[in-house]
Amino acid sequence: MEQRVVVTGMGLICGQAMSAPALFERIKTLQSSVRVHPGLAAYGVANAACSYVDEAVLAGLAARYGAVASRCGPPALLALHAADQAVANAGLDLATVVRKGLFAACNKQSMEAEDLLVLAQHLDPHTDTLNLDLYLELERHDPLAYFHKRQDMGALALAERYGFDDVVMTPGDACAAGGISIGTAYRYIASGELDVALAGAAETMCNYMPMLSFSVLGALAPQGLVNPGEISRPFDKARSGFVMGDGSAFLVLESEAHARARGAVILGYISGFAKQTEAWRITSSPRDGSDYARCMQAAIRDAGLALDDIDHINAHGTSTEQNDSCESLAIKKLFAERTAKIPVTSNKSAIGHSLAASGAIEAAMSILSLQHQLLLPTLNYQEPDDDTADIQVVRQATPAPLRHVLSNSFGFGGENSALVLSAA
């Protein structure tokens, strides 16, 4: 018998917000977390605007978590902070739970600029060879530095902290990983295999190599004479690319029976999930939105709902020309004449794109929208283009009766996911 899955705790950290309610309030009041990163600007990055977590905040987390921090690296620090918040918010002692699972998404971390500069000193430009022997002989090395780059370090830290020793997963499905993490946890609980799950993601993308890589791909917004907070403009005719973000969000999921037996406060429900893979291109999807539409429809079907039951869409909404067009066409294809009546928002307009973490952060914002019966705005939206026309993009915080929210995450490599979240 399928178990209903509830959300009983949430935790979050991202640029300029240390909790889910703090971020909700910022977006509600049209405050962007995007600003110029001084370190990236010093390296000469063309557009150093991003939604980064301050060094002082990371230092504070490192001090709080001590020895764990020294071997785990920044993504794990954010994961520890968000997960601790979620568990405390749920009022749950995980040590007393036997059938529990951990789902902590993260993508492969890249080398910091400082590491690359040192390594480059041992490159012979005439022969295109790298003298690694000399590098290892002359340079000082942190023996744990490699482990800071491993995507499973956050999961390891959380598994040790809370005693997860059975189901532990680290989805690495690009920009869809956070949604897939939550959706996979939902599947385990709905099927009766687990009673409780800690599910979410962490990512620190506001550093040199990710900025360079996505700039080369043409996905990042180019340098412009605009306020940093005005760069990310999903669905807008003038959109030119996304900005990077750091962040982490975790949810505590439980079977409804388990939550009610312990008297937990139910924040919302995970009602449906779909995860699908395209076989199209590594960096794009079919232009007509057909695969996005198929994924959204599968999630709604999994929730046992009809298209008319969806009251709001928390879009992937990256602010790239192709993704926003593709998602807009998918919404039109799926919802047809209802399209203009379904309010759509993109949280990335305020916090940038934190890849794996984005889906988890957006799930948390969706739960809060359901709790407050309030639509969050999409910052910087002014005018649609031909593809995004007829999409009802929310511009101001707006009260609305909300029962079910569809939250989309579409990643590189054709990794697509959608969650249906429902009011308690």
Burial (CB < 10 A; 0-12, 13-18, 19+), residue 395, is middle
Length of the chain: 424
CB 387 within 8 A of CB 414: no
E strands, 353-395, are 374-375, 392-393
- Hey, which residues are catalytic here? 175, 316, 353
Q: How far apart are CA 399 and CA 422, in angstroms?
A: 16
Query: Which phi and psi angles does 170 have, rounded to 5°?
Result: -130, 85
Rounded to whole angstroms, what are the CA distances from 32 to 39, 49, 241, 328?
A: 20, 11, 16, 23
Q: How far apart are CA 239 and CA 381, in angstroms?
A: 9
CA 394 to chain centroid, in Å, comes to 20
CA 235 to chain centroid, in Å, comes to 19
> Which one-letter DSSP state was computed for residue 33?
-
CB 78 within 8 A of CB 57: no
In sequence order, what are the beta bridge partners of 405?
312, 421
Q: How far apart are CA 180 and CA 360, in angstroms?
A: 9
∠ CA 89-94-97, nearest 5°, is 130
CB atoms within 10 A of CB 385: 15
CB 11 within 8 A of CB 81: yes
Task: Calculate the dihedral angle through the C-alpha atoms of 201, 205, 206, 212, rounding to the nearest 10 degrees.
Answer: -170
